[in-house]
Amino acid sequence: MADGHSTPWRTIHSTHHHCGWDNALEPVTTVVPGETLTLQCLDAAGGHYKPGSTAADIARMDPTKVNPVTGPVFVDGAEPGDALKVTIRDFAPSGFGWSAIIPGFGLLADQFSAPRLHLWDYDPTAKAPGVFNTHASVPLKPFAGTIGVALAEPGAHDIIPPRRTGGNMDIRDMAAGTELYLPVEVAGALFSVGDTHAAQGDGEVCGTAIESAMDITVTLDLVKGGAPAFPRFSTPGPVSRHLDAKGYEATTGIGPDLMTAARDAVSGMIDHLCRWRGLAPEDAYLLCSVCGDLRISEVVDAPNWVVSFYFPRIVFE
C-alpha cells in the first residue's frame, strides 16, 4: 500500500452492498476500533455500463439500484455521541469508468435534456491522466463519493441526498490520506462506502464524475463522545496540486441567489470552452463536471453574492 501500512486481513466483497440507509440492515462484519479493512465498491450505476455501452443505456438504468454502497460494517463499541474516525488509506481503481448527462439531473438539467454517455479507459494506477478525446485529458484523483453511517431514524432513507451522518457528499477530497469524522447515531455506527470516482470537480455540476468501481482501504476508529454536528475531515496536503500546474480559466455568476449564480458561472464556462476550444456544449458540460471547480468567492457584499467556476488549463496541455 502507498502509505506503508500492512495489507489488511479482511476484504468485504461488493456483493455485500445496499442502496439506501437503514439502521435495521444486518451488518456484513464486525471490526474492533483501529482495524483496517478493504471494501470492494461498485460504481454509481452498479456495473450497469460496460465497454460498448451507449447513451441509449441511460434510460435502461434501474433507478432503485443507483449509488450502491458496500457494508454496513459494525464497529464494536461505537455508541451514539461518538465520532467514527475513518482514515482513508488507499484505492485500487478498476481502470474503467463512465460519465453521463442524465435527463432531469444536474445543475443545468433544463439546458441539457438529451442523454449523453462518455466511457473512460484509464490507467488503473491513476498516475496518468484519463483521456477524454484527442484534445483533452483529465488528471485523476480517486476518492469515495458516498461514505457514511446509519441515521438514528428508523426505516429506509434515500441514498442520493447527503445527510448529517455523511452519505453522498461527493467531496473530491475524500481521497487517500484523508481522515474523516462522522457522527455516530446508532450502536455499531453501521459504516458503508461506495460511489467511487476516478476524478471529479467541486460541484459535480452535470451530476456525474468519472464513475468507476474500485477497492478502498480504510482504518475505522472511535473518538468516544466526539461526534461532530456534521462530518468534518482533515486532508494530508494540497488539494488541487494535480490540476494547478497550468493555471485556470474562470467565469463568474453574480446576484442575490447562490444557486442562480452557480448556474450562471457554469453556463459561462461552457460557452467559453465552446468558443475557446471548439467543444460541443455537451462535452464542455461533462468536462466541467469531472474537473472544474465551483467556488463561493464572496457572501458579504449584500445584496449580491459571487460564485466563480475554475476550469484547469492542464486538461488541454
Residue-level pLDDT at 285 = 98
Q: What is the pLDDT of residue 5?
A: 47
Specify the DSSP element, H or E, that contains 284: helix 281-291
Q: Are 54 and 12 in contact (CB under 8 A)?
A: no
pLDDT of residue 237: 87
Cβ atoms within 10 Å, residue 95: 17
Residue 306, C-alpha cell as written in the block: 459571487
Q: How far apart are CA 197 and CA 211, in angstroms?
A: 5
Residue 293 has what pLDDT?
98
Residue ranges in the chain modelled with pLDDT below 50: 1-6, 8
| Confidence (pLDDT) at 2 | 41
Helix and strand totals (H; E) in the chain: 2, 21
SS3 category, 289:
helix
- Give every CB contact of residue 220 below 8 A, 6+ residues apart in sequence: 31, 33, 34, 35, 36, 37, 73, 75, 84, 85, 86, 189, 191
Query: SS3 for 63-80, per residue?
Result: HHHCCCEEEEEEECCCCC
Show the domains of the chain with their CATH numbers.
11-234 (2.60.120.580), 244-316 (3.10.28.20)
Which pLDDT score is estimated for 295? 98
**Cα separation, 317 vs 310, whole angstroms:** 16
